[in-house]
Amino acid sequence: MTAGLFSCTTKAQSGASFSSLPVKEFKQAQSASKGLLLDVRTPDECAEGIIEGATMLDYSAPGFMDGIKKLDKDGPIYIYCASGGRSRQTMTRMKGLGFTKVWDLDGGMSAWLEAGQSTVRAGNASKR
């Protein structure tokens, strides 16, 4: 049991954090940190609505990883997609690239909408 506690402490001390957060925690953490909110869905999916303040970066686009590599590796990044699969994969890839603070929305946009959270038109967001 002590080893488990030590392991968690070491991870926290290193400053690296990667996890999936439920809607309420995701929203609170992103609001508190003012980190980058990244929507990795397709343009067609984004046209249905995005989380306010999100930057769109299409996971299926040829330049997706080039766009990821241009992001601040030490800044907080909050990722979401439609249901959580692409955002989790993106988080894993970012960890491999040396990013240190990445969280994804557990359940993606589906969970966000199910929790009664609002969206805005995609035209109000920036694209990378």
> What is the CATH classification number for the domain harbouring 35?
3.40.250.10
**Whole-number Å distance between alpha carbons of 30 and 117:** 14
- Domain limits at 80? 16-127
Pick the catalytic residue from 81, 94, 102, 111: 81
Is 10 a domain residue?
A: no
Is 100 a domain residue?
A: yes
Total number of domains in the chain: 1
* pLDDT-above-90 percentage for the chain: 79
What is the value of pTM for the model shown?
0.83
Is 2 a domain residue?
A: no
Closest-CA residue to 27 (of 90, 125, 109): 109
DSSP one-letter string for 63-74: THHHHHHTS-TT
Q: Is 35 within 8 Å of 101 (Cβ atoms)?
A: yes
Is 11 a domain residue?
A: no
**Whole-number Å distance between alpha carbons of 42 and 10:** 37
**Whole-number Å distance between alpha carbons of 81 and 73:** 20
81 catalytically annotated: yes
pLDDT for 77-108, tens place per residue? 999 999 999 999 999 999 999 999 999 999 99
